[in-house]
Amino acid sequence: MTVAASLPRSGTAPTATMGEQIPFDVDHLRADFPILGREVEGRPLVYLDSANTSHKPRCVVEAMEDHYLHHNANVARAMHALGGEATAAFEGGRQQIADFIGAERPEEVIFTKNASEALNLCAHTLGSRVGPGDEIVISVMEHHSNIVPWQLLAERTGATLRWFDVNEDGRLDLVGAASEGLINERTKIVSITYVSNVLGTVNPVSEIVSLAHAVGATVVVDASQAVPQLPVDVTLLGADLVAFTGHKMVGPTGIGVLWGRYDLLAELPPFLGGGEMIEVVTMAGSTFATPPHRFEAGTPPIAQAIGLGTAAGYLSAIGMDAIAAHEQEITAYALDGLKTVPGLRILGPREPVDRGGAVSFTLPDVHPHDVSQLLDSRGIAVRGGHHCARPLHHRFGVQSSTRASFYLYTTKAEIDALVDGLGYTQRFFGGGR
Amino acid sequence: MKVEDLYQEIILDHYRAKHHSGLRDPFDAEVHHVNPTCGDELTLRVRLTDGVVGDVSYEGVGCSISQASTSVMSDLVIGKPPDDGLELHEEFLSMMQSKGVGEPDEDRLEDAIAFAGVARFPARVKCALLGWSAFKDAVLRAGVEQTTKGTS
């Protein structure tokens, strides 16, 4: 029996196991997440911050615990029994991720420490292909992690950074982009988010891929908010590189993923240098390993890869279609509820069409930090601030916003608690406390 | 720890009607401080006249704690010698770093005593300090030498 096959162990809770489809039942699956049983300020926790990080089902934590307690060793170098088990489990995690995202082969899956590192890897390795006069295209709705690496690359190479604007509904302004010739023969890289972490907008990635590929540009997709909540098939998507992170998809922190088309990865230079990414090292120079190991210098996040593989198995067992449908239903319910709050302004699409489960909003005369503090006093966890997307907030003329974000374990009762909590917040700051 | 302990009525009053708000001329120093974790921003000007802080004027965006704290601070330091204002900054800073233990001097800090509860919400301490830090920076830039101890 391989190590991977022994995972996950079943806990006392009704835990989903791999390869077996179970009907979607939010109350049932909440039992897999012990933290959801917690109280905050004497009230049941209402966790509406899953776009920030998701909670972890017991099977993910147990898979990592089992690795550390019973199979721990370094991978790919230790020639002993534990080394073999650890390597099999680590590479098993890679295979599970490849299956989860529809990669043609596991060698297309690179483990990084998070999505930011994956995007930096793209910017660095693609950097050899751009120079003065070339253009890199992003959008104004990007997370800072998909802005700053490209700004740095543009500064380093003399390339020009350009971006898609958004319209008032929070959709990419494709018409404006076409009329200004945003994507043209000078475009070398297009890097765009699949789902906005602020607006919830689901972008027409395949359409953008077609535009970019028509001019020979390489397409990078930040799928950090997409892979957790939508069925994503990277091969069908058509992009060249796709980045996402583990901790937003019920996996552990400390691990991210970069998927890349194998033939592209095989052409790209190394990113970080060190152990395990080499072929032969002499004092005069080195040759490098083939993908994915070329891009994985040093001891990788072993337990995290095992945990992430288990997370992918957990989500698959529930079914990404079912998770997406639940997310859609909860988001529609939340949009309806939020529209009843006087003066509340939703940033982004107001209807649950091509829209993910993150809803950002402003309340008149109450700062988002005060909103989140008041909600926290009722055990409701949301995020207040610019959500690492300051340019987007600037675009909408606001300094910051409050964001509620949902996931497979979010209930309608939690949305009701949010709407009630916002009423309480308004009374508190309106002088009616 | 109840949320009402954080949001004292004095704080809400100052937030709803900020004192000395707006940017005015003339001034001896202007500073712009931001809180990168939350995005709060504050532009603050200091005018020194006849050996005292003649005016503190400011404009900013931020939460109720940062806005009210700036309002209370301006009330406290206007009309006092700048050295005294810097000492008040030190006392306020100590209160914020006290984690809620110790007795702040109400005669000295006046309305600012209302922020004692903020010290028990570590995530909000930086909000309460934004205006005070900007004031200290502006006074020092205006050429006042710091005689009080402390580094922040």
- Each residue's pLDDT, cut to its tens digit, for chain A (433 residues) gives 333 433 343 333 344 444 555 678 999 999 999 999 999 989 999 999 999 999 999 999 999 999 999 999 999 777 899 999 999 999 999 999 999 999 999 999 999 999 999 999 999 999 999 999 999 999 999 999 999 999 999 999 999 999 999 999 999 999 999 999 999 999 999 999 999 999 999 999 999 999 999 999 999 999 999 999 999 999 999 999 999 999 999 999 999 999 999 999 999 999 999 888 888 999 999 999 999 999 999 999 999 999 999 999 999 999 999 999 999 999 999 999 999 999 999 999 999 999 999 999 999 989 999 999 999 999 999 999 889 999 999 999 998 999 999 999 999 999 999 999 999 999 998 854 4
Q: Do both A276 and A379 map to the same domain?
A: no
What is the C-alpha to C-alpha distance for residues A59 and A309, in angstroms, rounded to an integer? 11
Give the CATH number for residue A377.
Answer: 3.90.1150.10
Q: Which domain holds residue A308?
A: 57-108+267-318
The sign of the dihedral angle between the CA atoms of A393, A396, A399, A404 is negative
pLDDT at A9: 39
Helix B82-96 × helix B122-141 angle, to 10°: 160
Q: Do both A120 and A220 map to the same domain?
A: yes
Q: Label residue A49 exposed, middle or buried (CB < 10 Å: 0-12, 13-18, 19+).
A: buried
What is the C-alpha to C-alpha distance for residues A138 and A147, in angstroms, rounded to an integer? 7
pLDDT, tens digit, 9 for 90 and up, residues B2-12 = 888 889 899 99
Q: Do both A313 and A330 map to the same domain?
A: no
This complex has an ipTM of: 0.84
Strands, E assignment, A176-217: 187-193
Q: Do both A289 and A330 map to the same domain?
A: no
Q: Do both A221 and A197 map to the same domain?
A: yes
Q: Is A388 annotated in the active site?
A: yes
**3-state helix vs strand vs coil in chain A, percent to 5:** 40, 20, 40
Q: Do both A198 and A278 map to the same domain?
A: no
Q: Label residue A88 exposed, middle or buried (CB < 10 Å: 0-12, 13-18, 19+).
A: middle
Residue A33 maps to a domain: no
Q: Return the structure tokens found at A94.
A: 């890679």
Residues from chain A that touch B38, judged by Cβ atoms under 8 A, are 369, 384-385, 400
Q: Return the structure tokens found at B31.
A: 């500073």
Q: What is the DSSP letter of B113?
A: G
Q: Return the structure tokens found at A342.
A: 């006087």
Residue A27 maps to a domain: no
Candidate CATH numbers 3.90.1010.10, 3.40.50.300, 3.40.50.720, 3.30.70.980; the one for domain B3-141: 3.90.1010.10
Residue A335 maps to a domain: yes
Q: Label residue A27 exposed, middle or buried (CB < 10 Å: 0-12, 13-18, 19+).
A: exposed
Query: Which amino acid belongs to residue B2?
Result: K
Cβ distance of B62 and A374 shorter than 8 Å: no
Q: Do both A127 and A104 map to the same domain?
A: no
Burial code (b: 16+ CB inside 10 Å, e: under 16) for A251-263 equals bbbbbbbbbbbbe
What is the C-alpha to C-alpha distance for residues A19 and A333, in angstroms, rounded to an integer? 31
Residue A26 maps to a domain: no
Nearest CA to CA, how far is B115 from chain A (Å)?
15
Q: Which residues pair with B35 in a beta bridge?
A: B40
What is the C-alpha to C-alpha distance for residues A82 and A84, in angstroms, rounded to an integer? 5
| B1, closest residue in chain A (CA to CA) | A41
Q: Do both A130 and A231 map to the same domain?
A: yes
Residue A382 maps to a domain: yes
Residue A15 maps to a domain: no
Q: Give this prediction's pTM.
A: 0.90
What is the C-alpha to C-alpha distance for residues A372 and A376, in angstroms, rounded to an integer? 6
Cβ distance of B64 and A429 shorter than 8 Å: yes
Q: Return the structure tokens found at A391.
A: 């340019």
Q: Do both A371 and A330 map to the same domain?
A: yes
- Domain total in chain A: 3
Angle CA(A268)–CA(A273)–CA(A278) in degrees, nearest 5?
75
Residue B96 and residue B132 in contact, taking contact as beta carbons nearer than 8 Å:
no
Which residue of A367, A380, A382, A392 to mutate against B (max B Cβ within 10 Å)? A367
> Which of the residues A45, A278, A322, A388 is marked catalytic?
A388
The sign of the dihedral angle between the CA atoms of B85, B86, B87, B92 is positive
Cβ distance of A373 and B16 shorter than 8 Å: no
Give the CATH number for residue A277.
Answer: 3.40.640.10
Q: What is the DSSP letter of B58?
A: E
Helix A58-66 × helix A302-318 angle, to 10°: 150
Residue A88 maps to a domain: yes
Q: Given B39, B67, B127, which is nearest A386 (Cβ)?
A: B39
Question: Strands A345-347, A380-381: parallel, antiparallel or unpaired by DSSP?
Answer: unpaired
What is the C-alpha to C-alpha distance for residues B75 and B65, in angstroms, rounded to an integer? 15
Nearest CA to CA, how far is B4 from chain A (Å)?
9
What is the C-alpha to C-alpha distance for residues A270 and A277, in angstroms, rounded to an integer? 8
Q: Do both A86 and A144 map to the same domain?
A: no
What is the C-alpha to C-alpha distance for residues A342 and A345, in angstroms, rounded to an integer? 9
Q: Is A262 helix (H, G, I), strand (E, B) or coil?
A: helix
Residue A89 maps to a domain: yes
Last residue of a domain, one of A318, A353, A381: A318
What is the C-alpha to C-alpha distance for residues A314 and A20, in angstroms, rounded to an integer? 10
Q: Do both A191 and A129 map to the same domain?
A: yes
Phi, psi at residue A165, to the nearest 5°? -90, 175
Q: What is the DSSP letter of A279?
A: E
